[in-house]
Amino acid sequence: MTDRVHVNLFINGRWVKAGNGEKIEIVNPATEEVVATACQAGRVDTEMAIDAAKQAFPVWRSVTPWERSKILRKTASLLGERATEIARRVVLDCGKPITQSLGEVKSAGEIIDWFADEARRIYGEVLPGRNLHNRLHTLYEPIGVAAGFTAFNFPIVLLSRKIAAALAAGCPIICRPAEEGSVCAAELVKCFVDAGIPAGVINLLTGKPEEISDTILASPVVRKISFTGSVPVGQRLIRGAADTVKRVTMELGGHAPVIVHADADPEKVASGAVFAKFRNNGQVCVSPTRFFVHRSHGERFTRALIDATAKLKIGDGNDPEVDIGPLINRRRLEAVEQMVEKTVAEGGFVVFGGKRPEHLKKGFFFEPTIITDITDDMTVMRREPFGPLALITSFSSLEEVVERANAVDYGLASYVFTNSLQFAHQTVSALKAGIVTVNGWSGSLAEMPFGGVKYSGYGREGGSQGIFEYLDVKFFNLNFD
Residues with a known catalytic role: 251, 285
Mean pLDDT, residues 361-380 taken together:
97
Do 327 and 231 fall within a single domain? no
Mean pLDDT, residues 215-239 taken together:
97
Count the neighbouring beta carbons within 10 Å of the beta carbon of residue 117: 14
Do 269 and 240 fall within a single domain? no
Q: How many domains does the chain have?
A: 2
Do 38 and 164 fall within a single domain? yes
- Cβ-proximal residues to 70 (8 Å cutoff; 6+ apart), any chain: 116
Do 168 and 270 fall within a single domain? no
Domain harbouring 20, CATH code: 3.40.605.10
Do 204 and 66 fall within a single domain? yes
Mean pLDDT, residues 3-23 taken together:
94
Do 74 and 178 fall within a single domain? yes
Do 56 and 131 fall within a single domain? yes
Residue 2 has pLDDT above 90, yes or no: no
Q: Taking the model in full, what pTM does it have?
A: 0.96
Let me know if residue 116 belongs to a domain: yes
Do 301 and 207 fall within a single domain? no
Say what the pLDDT of residue 303 is.
98
Q: What is the pLDDT of residues 152-208, one digit of tens each?
A: 999 999 999 999 999 999 999 999 999 999 999 999 999 999 999 999 999 999 999
Q: What is the pLDDT of residues 35-93, one digit of tens each?
A: 999 999 999 999 999 999 999 999 999 999 999 999 999 999 999 999 999 999 999 99
Let me know if residue 450 belongs to a domain: no
Report the alpha-carbon distance of residue 32 to residue 363 in Å, rounded.
Answer: 6
DSSP for residue 461: B
Domain of 434, in residue numbers: 256-409+413-445
Q: What is the pLDDT of residues 431-451, one digit of tens each?
A: 999 999 999 998 899 999 999
Alpha-helical runs (H) found in 1-147:
43-61, 65-81, 83-94, 98-118
| Percentage with pLDDT > 90 across the chain | 98
Domain harbouring 377, CATH code: 3.40.309.10
Do 183 and 272 fall within a single domain? no
Do 436 and 468 fall within a single domain? no
Q: What is the pLDDT of residues 229-265, one digit of tens each?
A: 999 999 999 999 999 999 999 999 999 999 999 999 9
- Cβ-proximal residues to 204 (8 Å cutoff; 6+ apart), any chain: 9, 10, 11, 175, 176, 177, 185, 186, 189
Do 290 and 436 fall within a single domain? yes
Say what the pLDDT of residue 159 is.
98
Say what the pLDDT of residue 3 is.
57
Do 329 and 236 fall within a single domain? no
Residue 481 has pLDDT above 90, yes or no: no
SS3 199: coil
Report the alpha-carbon distance of residue 48 to residue 54 in Å, rounded.
Answer: 10
